[in-house]
Structure 1
């Protein structure tokens, strides 16, 4: 619509004139299309009647032929098998009924004993389809096609069994139907000369073609025959006929009452163009009658539009252009008067007066703006420095909080290491006592001495490794790097395992995924995980949880690594669920919690490692869910833009 309004007024007026003519044009076209559809319906009805008339004629012919032959079978000369007289009778029947040809009588073994025209001696039809089916069913049966006596057209064989009073078949009448006799039905319909009909046998062989005799004996188009086979009774379709014309086609299946397969297909057709020719001509006539009216209307609308609208708008535009050049004293109403455009001119004059007043106000405001601009430039000169100072202040605050969190973790871990060292130190002391006792009892041998010293050295190595891991854990990390997620989890578990065992807390790692790599800071990740484990430990001790456990699971989901930490500590209250990651928020008693641990865990996971951390309540406790992008899905530096290690 906007595009239409952006067109010149001349083109808009022309378009409107065409739109006004569209209803009339639409009615004519719609009427023409309806006429064409009606013509198609009439043509379809006519060729359907043609197909039905041919089919009914065939049914009537078979019925009358059956009655005639059953009557002939009761004649004495036939019962007496007088070959000469019966052959003469059959010949008379053939002459009086041109549609019947190859009339013959055969015994139950298929041997022909009388025929018109005469046949060779001992000729048999025992293996022919119509004879076999007639003997099997005891009823009139259809067979295959054969060339007629003249060799031009094809005929279709039928066999009628003749029974005695006991119902036993005594002999069989065999006769052929001349299909060319249906042509007179087409001539009596008054349909266009291009109307055609084709008769096919049960295999799709063309037995008769009203328009193209050269098709006789050839196989029908596979798609057409398949179309007819797939529809019961009478059907229709539209397609390209053998003569290259597009036709409306109606077909009918001819089937004997006891036979499942049609013995004959009747297909009639009329050229599509012939069916709609008159309707198309009427549509063209109506459109040609409308065309002069459209042209005159178009010219009148353009002329009136130019005089009443376009010329006046052009004058209005020139006056406004003069005003736009700074001459606010010009008045549009002096040049355009009357009607809506005159009112528009007066509105422009009012606008010009207001513009003059506002121009004066603008000048005053511009002077004031210059003063403000100078003040703003002074503020902008120091703005960048102030922003940088605030950013550094915030970063320094985060680093201080991280160090506070680390110091709190260090205190917890020193406590855990004390628990881890107690058992190895006790073991070393007992082994030294054993050496002293063996020495006083004179039972100390070199073998015992070496064995006990080796055991003590092994325990000392364990203590040294613990100190090394502790020192490495608190060593600052300068740059992100790929690390094995499972190893980082196991390192965190190692620091608290001994303490958890002594306090009856079952800490287990399920769902191992040894091949998952993430890019980031392994020590900071372990720090975040330890904060979650500390939180679970405090909940267990505070609530006195029976059989407490913490279950850690690691898995791959698409391009992300997912770590879940689940406990049975009773979960988080609904009021606190949305605040657990807030700075300084704690549910512990005053002096027992800083409210920094889970906040720092969220900062490490989301800001430094580009992941996410959430918490939800399970059936028996809280479940923390950490998602980290896989090593291949992160930027080269392993963090989101702006991230840096909090340990630096």
Structure 2
């Protein structure tokens, strides 16, 4: 590379500004002979074609004029060169050498602005002239815009690369007013036609006379980060909309529960419908609570991404981890809604279903209530009558979350029931809600310490021809008088504002008539226990 004071070529120009002779001092300009008999303006970039000839015309004999300008195309390329012009009285001698303004900055304590740029934004170094033409770009730009540096040189930011000329004008005005740009995001046109986002930090460059001579700085590609930030913002808005929809559903359910007084079998169907709507209202409240934590977590992640971006800490691994966390929360919320929708879908016919899977689904659906009521839950298997092992299938720690343990014999279809799975889910939800209410009441009366969690244990006792679902809690238990009446219609121990007396009556009806099973209630040393016994079938029987 030639030094800054080494000549590239020299032109002899007559008074009409026509080139009459050319001397070449660099192999880079072997085609300079073709410039003879051309006007000086023809070898200059369009933005210099008026300015330079007028300046030369004002010169007197012996005057010397120096400027830095964009020449070209010479040999198919643009060159930003230092031009020294001397007027001889009959014409001009124009000497062209390398411009010192093309050097990448050497950072020192004397140039605080460029030091800041270099330390914080190691992207592609670039230089523009006073007109906004690109006069230098490091090789990194190929990965950003698709152009080679030589293809970019001579291009005008305002005319050729910015999507909006107004955006360029606003940024240039900021540069002229403040002398620098810091953390400015600009959108430019890629060679292949799409939009590229660059984060730019630069400083204004002035000549020895204090005149604005262009800018120098670094540009870093942030297209991927920008796209993902916009996607996360869209997800945030979408989740907020879904939350509003969920709140609206909850409000509407309050007005859907109306007395449905009919006779005979229609009365039982109406009562069942009433019960399911009541359960729906409870579940919507639980789902709203379940969504609150992941929504908060998503908002935190989005804010964290923005902060990381502003502090220069956002890279692809960081972004990938954040997106993975977001997708985990979104899948959890989606699964919750799927469970909710499946619970209330019509069941016109009986079907074979995996009891273990349905228990896991219904318990996971209630996590919001467990968290509010500070209740831990376990589902365990009891295979002792089959000479099998007893395993924990699911564990819920109310302050931590849900963990499902894979029990292959049970989860892979080992416990098959024939009936209506969603009706069974309704029964289990009713029993779980009763247990939570009992534990909450016991805690309010001092029977449980405020810091002591409630516990619900669901045991799946599997035998050759039947399976029992045993639900135990550490609540208040059931007194003897209540045990005799607990499955009667319209009997409830709850205040009228909180109980209808149809829950356990309908549970008994569903178990006996729809699932061909039995249900009974009792007490343990810790609290109440309900046992549901159902006939077990093979996957091929019906």
Higher strand share: 2
Question: Which of structures 1 and 2 has the larger relative contact order (alpha carbons within 8 angstroms, sep 6+)?
Answer: 1
Q: TM-score, normalised by structure 2?
A: 0.43
Q: TM-score, normalised by structure 1?
A: 0.36
Larger radius of gyration: 1
